[in-house]
């Protein structure tokens, strides 16, 4: 400031004066907190370290002023202590073939954290060191333990040296997974996507969540970090709602076929028919809980977390239809008719679409050939005493007639009664709502159509049952809340030429700070 010279000129002059032993330099650097106003960025604070210099008085070699020790330049002393930059470079070069996090270099060399990365970045510009972190669209962020770096072995050739450095850092990340759960999830996601690419498949987010067994936020962070770490992993959103992941090395034809196959699966499992079918089961379950006095429902623990505990899996001694070794039943409950009397077991099967004789025969055969509800008799396999089948259907085909061997012609309801199967019709449930005082426009079919899932069905039925006069407004609010579900289901049924939407991974400031 006093001379008006540039910082570089002053630094060069000070260095020459110090080596000529005309001035003394402070032994330790002083620290000062600087504050600078950076416009929109606001006030920026930086910690600056610097030496102080004084004119050498006479032949004095050492001097202390206000607790600050000044000393003379000695070439032997300066040569005995190598610079931090050279120590860092020698450490990385001597350990060629190994990768280290920046924090590990700080601990090994006992230098300040601020001394490592500035020097490493200079070595990176010189093409000596390979630095790896989470890569985003326009920048790179460090791992939890800092940036991962290794020496580039130029003796292998430039390209081969870079590939070797990527290999070394990748192995280091695998070794780190036991101590860092995020790295472990990243490795699992990478392995699953690579394995799927061999079969030319794409993986859904739900599949990854089930495999990793973690929360939604943990999965989102792991997926984001994986896509930042590996540029060959891409994301496509089917119907703009269901994210799937794949390797970019999959040929376009195979990728289009995999996307089309997955879209057909989503139409089948996520469509309106599937949702209303599950909601219909929830309606039947709710009415049974309300009307069956003293009912004790069976429960069963399933491997899949998405299956309700009241869904019972029974083992079969022979196949029934497309059911090979076992069959799923919607609900099973017991009712004790009186003291010292065996309980009656009711087995429920629901079908929201049209019911015909074939459906009833399959249900009867499931009960007959199951280990839980069937029994061997001299006349063959039969349903165990005390077991009653209950079939709930949306619509029973009124035109179907069953002709028996003796020539008797029965309706579907009469045939079910002869097979000891109780029928539950939607008309019977609507009659229950009407008797409660609910408007006749509020039907079971509409409740199944307007509710999001089984839990919401029971919440709406509870509210309608307690306040029948407000049933219309309750259901209208529910339908308005679930408009996005209806729009998505309409999109599933609308043919589209767009197979998927490629999504570029982004990261929020909060996630970056975490």
Model confidence pLDDT, tens digit, residues 59-96: 888 889 988 999 988 765 555 567 888 899 999 999 99
Which are the contacts of 316, defined by CB distance < 8 A and separation ≥ 6?
323, 324, 325, 326, 327, 366, 369, 370, 371
In the predicted model, is pLDDT for residue 501 greater than 60? no
Per-residue model confidence (pLDDT) at position 99: 92
Q: CB–CB of 457/286 below 8 Å? A: yes
In the predicted model, is pLDDT for residue 107 greater than 50? yes
Other C-beta atoms closer than 10 Å to the C-beta of 105 total 25
Rounded to an integer, the average pLDDT of 131-148 is: 83
Structure confidence by residue, pLDDT tens digits, 332-355: 988 887 777 788 899 988 887 778
End-to-end CA distance of the chain: 42
The CA distances from residue 426 to 117, 167, 195, 320, 429, in Å, are 71, 63, 47, 27, 5
Per-residue model confidence (pLDDT) at position 304: 66
Q: Which has the closest alpha carbon to 281: 361, 370, 393? A: 393
- Report the distance separating Cα 412 and Cα 400, nearest Å: 7
The pLDDT confidence band at residue 100, using thresholds 50, 70 and 90, is very high
Structure confidence by residue, pLDDT tens digits, 374-403: 999 988 889 988 899 988 887 777 777 888
Structure confidence by residue, pLDDT tens digits, 400-416: 788 888 888 888 888 88
Rounded to an integer, the average pLDDT of 288-306 is: 79
Q: Which two tokens stand for residue 407?
A: 């020539």
Per-residue model confidence (pLDDT) at position 352: 76
Helix segments in 177-212, DSSP class H: 181-198, 205-212
pTM above 0.75, yes or no: no
Per-residue model confidence (pLDDT) at position 511: 43
Structure confidence by residue, pLDDT tens digits, 422-469: 888 888 889 989 998 989 889 988 898 889 888 898 999 999 999 999
Matching CATH number, 181-270+502-513, of 3.40.50, 1.10.10, 1.10.3470, 1.10.405: 1.10.10
SS (H, E, C) 41-85: HCEEEEEEEECCEEECCCCCCEEEECCEEEECCCHHHHHHCCCHH
- Report the distance separating Cα 243 and Cα 264, nearest Å: 15
Intrachain domains 84-176 and 181-270+502-513 with the same fold = yes
Which are the contacts of 432, defined by CB distance < 8 A and separation ≥ 6?
287
- Report the distance separating Cα 125 and Cα 119, nearest Å: 10
Would you say domain 272-481 falls under CATH 3.40.50.300? no
Q: Which two tokens stand for residue 177?
A: 């997974």
- Sequence ranges of the domains in the chain: 7-80, 84-176, 181-270+502-513, 272-481
- Report the distance separating Cα 244 and Cα 298, nearest Å: 37
Mean pLDDT of the chain, nearest integer: 84
Q: Which two tokens stand for residue 241?
A: 């709602």
Q: Which residue has the higher pLDDT, 465 or 321?
A: 465
Per-residue model confidence (pLDDT) at position 505: 47
Q: Sign of torsion, CA 356 357 360 361?
A: negative
Q: Structurally, what CATH architecture does the domain formed by 84-176 represent?
A: Orthogonal Bundle (1.10)
Question: Between vectors from CA 268 to CA 267 and to CA 269, what angle results, nearest 5°?
Answer: 100
In the predicted model, is pLDDT for residue 509 greater than 70? no
Specify the DSSP element, H or E, that contains 344: strand 344-355
Specify burial of residue 176 (Cβ count, 10 A radius: 0-12, 13-18, 19+).
buried
Q: What's phi and psi for 420, nearest 5 deg? A: 60, 40
Structure confidence by residue, pLDDT tens digits, 213-272: 888 888 999 999 898 888 889 999 888 778 999 999 899 899 999 888 888 888 777 777
Q: CB–CB of 426/432 below 8 Å? A: no
The percent of residues above 70 in pLDDT, for the chain, comes to: 93
Structure confidence by residue, pLDDT tens digits, 154-176: 888 888 999 999 889 888 887 77
């Amino acid at each position: 400031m006093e001379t008006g010279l540039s910082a570089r000129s002053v630094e060069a002059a000070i260095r020459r004066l110090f080596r000529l032993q005309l001035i003394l330099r402070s032994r330790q650097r002083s620290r000062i907190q600087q504050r600078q106003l950076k416009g929109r960025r606001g006030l920026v604070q930086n910690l600056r370290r610097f030496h102080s210099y004084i004119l050498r008085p006479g032949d004095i070699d050492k001097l202390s002023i206000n607790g600050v020790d000044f000393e003379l330049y000695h070439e032997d002393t300066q040569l005995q202590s190598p610079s931090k930059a050279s120590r860092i470079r020698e450490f990385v070069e001597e350990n060629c073939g190994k990768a280290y996090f920046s924090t590990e270099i700080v601990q090994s060399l006992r230098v300040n954290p601020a001394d490592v990365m500035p020097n490493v970045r200079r070595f990176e510009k010189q093409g000596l060191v390979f630095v790896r972190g989470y890569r985003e669209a326009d920048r790179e962020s460090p791992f939890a333990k800092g940036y991962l770096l290794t020496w580039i072995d130029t003796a292998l050739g430039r390209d081969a040296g870079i590939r070797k450095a990527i290999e070394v850092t990748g192995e280091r990340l695998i070794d780190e997974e036991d101590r860092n759960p995020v790295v472990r999830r990243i490795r699992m996601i990478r392995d699953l996507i690579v394995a799927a690419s061999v079969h030319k498949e794409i993986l859904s987010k739900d599949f990854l969540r089930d495999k990793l067994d973690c929360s939604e936020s943990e999965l989102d962070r792991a997926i984001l970090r994986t896509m930042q770490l590996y540029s060959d992993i891409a994301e496509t959103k089917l119907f703009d709602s269901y994210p799937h992941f794949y390797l970019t090395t999959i040929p376009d034809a195979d990728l289009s076929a995999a996307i089309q196959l997955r879209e057909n699966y989503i139409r089948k499992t996520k469509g309106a028919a599937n949702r209303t079918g599950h909601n219909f089961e929830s309606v039947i379950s709710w009415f049974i809980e309300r009307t069956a006095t003293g009912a004790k429902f069976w429960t069963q623990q399933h491997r899949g977390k998405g299956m309700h505990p009241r869904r019972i899996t029974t083992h079969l001694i022979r196949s029934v239809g497309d059911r090979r070794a076992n069959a799923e039943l919607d609900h099973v409950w017991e009712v004790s008719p009186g003291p010292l009397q065996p309980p009656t077991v009711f087995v429920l099967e629901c079908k929201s679409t049209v019911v015909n004789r074939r459906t009833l025969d399959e249900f009867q055969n499931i009960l007959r050939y199951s280990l839980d509800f069937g029994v061997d008799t001299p006349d063959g396999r039969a349903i165990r005493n005390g077991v009653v089948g209950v079939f709930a259907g949306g619509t029973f085909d009124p035109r179907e007639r069953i002709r028996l061997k003796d020539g008797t012609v029965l309706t579907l309801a009469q045939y079910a009664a002869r097979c000891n199967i109780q029928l539950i019709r939607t008309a019977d449930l609507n009659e229950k709502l009407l008797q409660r005082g609910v408007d006749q426009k509020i039907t079971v079919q509409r409740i199944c159509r307007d509710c999001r899932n089984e839990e919401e069905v029971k919440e709406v039925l509870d509210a309608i049952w307690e306040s029948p006069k407000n049933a219309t407004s309750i259901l209208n609010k529910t339908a308005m809340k679930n408009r996005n579900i209806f729009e998505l289901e309409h999109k599933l049924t609308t043919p589209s030429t767009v197979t998927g939407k490629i999504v570029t991974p982004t990261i929020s400031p909060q996630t970056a700070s975490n």
